[in-house]
Amino acid sequence: MCGKNKKEERTWVEEIEIAGSELVERVKELIKEGNVRRLIIRKPGGELLMEIPLTAGVMVGGAFTIVAPVLAALGAMAALIAKVKIEIVQTEEEDEE
């Protein structure tokens, strides 16, 4: 009633299974998308391997500089694992009218 639109944030989780050799490239693509808040990497059986929180500040500007050590660790892990599951937690702001 005061004329301002409130923004509501909608969150959802997508799960994909990829070959370990594709892991680093796929993570780079997801970071570039900008709406990813967290990546959870698991073995096909569900065992947690790594959780990567991505805040809005990381995605703006120097994203790869900040995430470079994580990408190096992912590359080493990908060499040892045939397949992995990635849970992609994404958010989207919606205008509430």
Domain count of the fold of the chain: 1
Q: Which of 11, 86, 16, 91 is nearest to 51 (CA)?
A: 86
SS3 5: coil
pTM of the model: 0.72
| Residue 66 belongs to a domain | yes
Whether residue 49 lies inside any domain: the answer is yes
pLDDT at 40 over 70: yes
Whether residue 6 is predicted with pLDDT greater than 80 in this model: the reply is no
Q: Is residue 83 part of a domain?
A: yes
Structural domain includes residue 1? no
The string of pLDDT tens digits covering residues 26-38 is: 888 887 777 788 8
Tell me the per-residue pLDDT of 62-88, one tens digit each, with 9 for 90 and over: 555 667 788 888 888 888 888 999 999
Rounded distance between C-alpha atoms, residue 57 and residue 61, angstroms: 8
Please give the residue range of the domain that contains residue 31.
6-96
Residue 21 — pLDDT band, cuts 50, 70, 90? Answer: confident
